[in-house]
Amino acid sequence: MGILDFLTGEFIDVIEWTDDTHDTLVWRFEREGHEIKYGAKLTVREGQAAVFVHEGQIADVFTPGLYFLETNNMPVLTKLQHWDHGFRSPFKSEIYFVNTTRFGDLKWGTKNPIILRDPEFGPLRIRAYGTYAIKVSDPARFLTEIVGTDGEFTMDEISFQIRNIIVQEFSRLIARSGIPVLDMAANTDELGRLLAEGISGTLAQYGLAVPELYIENISLPPAVEAALDKRTSAGIAGDLRRYIDFSAAEALTTAAANPGGAGAGLGAGMGAGMGLGMGMAMGGQLAGRAGGAAEGPWGAPAGGAPAGGLTQGPPPLQSPPPPPVERLWHIAEGGKTKGPFSRADLGRMAGEGGLTRETYVWSQGLDGWKRAGEIDELARLFTVLPPPPPSEG
């Protein structure tokens, strides 16, 4: 072996890249003057691709493996260089290593609320967030469309753009889905799959793919969530009165757990007295509904002192009940409906002969037209009429 062959073997180029940053997508192999020796050793590891750029044009893309850069395995670059067989001079090219592994646990979320029309609640604003994974599927296209001449391209430089693409597609998808907001939690898997399919076409233009995308949560504004919580509590209670009793009991429990909450001195005494009065009043109401013993005038058992030896106090003040709502009536006459009339109006009509027992009437709550004489409330209007005058003779 001659001295020239020995020196050629000793100074052979070794081109490789080992990455320990965990966020680098593209790294450019640096060489003075970008001169690569003919026959250099190229090592492309699993999860990598090597892209050769010659005079601004992508020449060859090498997948994982070990290569010796010669004319037989660089067809595009050989054609660009116009090498003849056996040519041994260096060539100038830029070599970019592209990380093709999966970058996972990346975050996405809606910066501003998304307005949609819910089939049950009407217009609503929602927010959503989740995670996704990204990988380079086409190294040459990714280098051309995104990286350019950047010598070290990291995930942070493109994650913001990908998040915008995801949020835009999510807004379109969720607005057209028609899924009620209360059912979205049960459909996050399907929505995530549709979202990944929706953005795959756009990302493919950049040489990227989304192997995973998850929707972790879809939330409503705090005020709407609070209203839903109250609605749920009322539904659990069963009816409005039971819900009121439940809320009053919770208030008493909170007051008992914080005896100083009403303030020191007189304020604390007033708070305790109000809590005690509410408790006694509510206890009397609950006992009355449960059919317990008869109560005295102030809520104590009849004929004895209040339970526990408490001194009787004045009865709690009660507001008067609301006035009754007057019932309105309609009458049918000559195939037409007249009204509405109050009971006083019908009494005046009965006195004038415009209303008889056979007149058909209707009011809210009746299942159809009835004769006035068949309704107890109106039948009394005819009993007070004087009998017909005696005949003269």
Residue 357, pLDDT score: 87
Indicate if 140 and 162 belong to the same structural domain.
yes
Q: Which of 196, 223, 250 is the last residue of a domain?
A: 223
Q: What pLDDT score does 336 carry? A: 86
Does a structural domain hold residue 90?
A: yes
pLDDT of residue 308: 47
What is the span of the domain harbouring residue 64?
Answer: 3-99
| Residue 201 within any structural domain of the chain | yes
Q: Please tell me what DSSP assigns to residue 143.
A: I
Q: Return the pLDDT at 136.
A: 95
Shared domain check, 43 and 84: yes
Predicted confidence at residue 393, as pLDDT, reads: 54
- Nearest C-alpha neighbor of 381 from the set 323, 331, 325, 324: 331
Question: Residue 368 sits in a domain of what CATH number?
Answer: 3.30.1490
Q: Does residue 304 sit within a domain?
A: no
Q: Is residue 35 a part of any domain in this protein?
A: yes
The answer to whether residue 89 sits within a structural domain is yes
128 in the same domain as 78: no
Is the same domain home to 216 and 108? yes
Choose one of 99, 126, 144: the last residue of a domain. 99
pTM comes to 0.55
86 with 188, same domain: the answer is no
Residues 119, 63, single domain; the answer is: no
Residue 218 within a domain: yes
How far, in Å, CA of 57 to CA of 205, rounded? 19
* 14 lies in the same domain as 113: no
Question: Using an 8 Å Cβ cutoff, are 232 and 198 in contact?
Answer: no
In the prediction, which pLDDT does 297 show? Answer: 45
Rounded to 5°, angle at Cα 199 from 196 and 202: 150
Q: How many domains does the chain have?
A: 3
Q: Which pLDDT value is given to residue 265?
A: 45
Q: Which stretches of the chain drop beneath a pLDDT of 50?
A: 1-11, 85-87, 262-272, 286-287, 290-300, 302-310
Mean pLDDT, all residues of the chain: 77
State the pLDDT at residue 264: 45
Assess whether 77 and 181 both reside in one domain.
Answer: no
Which one of 195, 223, 251 terminates a domain?
Answer: 223
The answer to whether residues 66 and 156 belong to one domain is no
Q: Does 193 lie in the same domain as 145?
A: yes
One-letter amino acid of 45: R
* Closest-CA residue to 244 (of 233, 253, 255): 233
pLDDT, position 11: 46
- In a domain, residue 350? The reply is yes
pLDDT in the model for residue 4:
41
Residue 97 and residue 29 in contact, taking contact as beta carbons nearer than 8 Å:
yes
Residues 8 and 112 in one domain: no
Within-domain flag for 236: no
What's the CATH number where 190 sits? 3.30.479.30
The reply to whether 144 and 216 lie within a common domain is yes
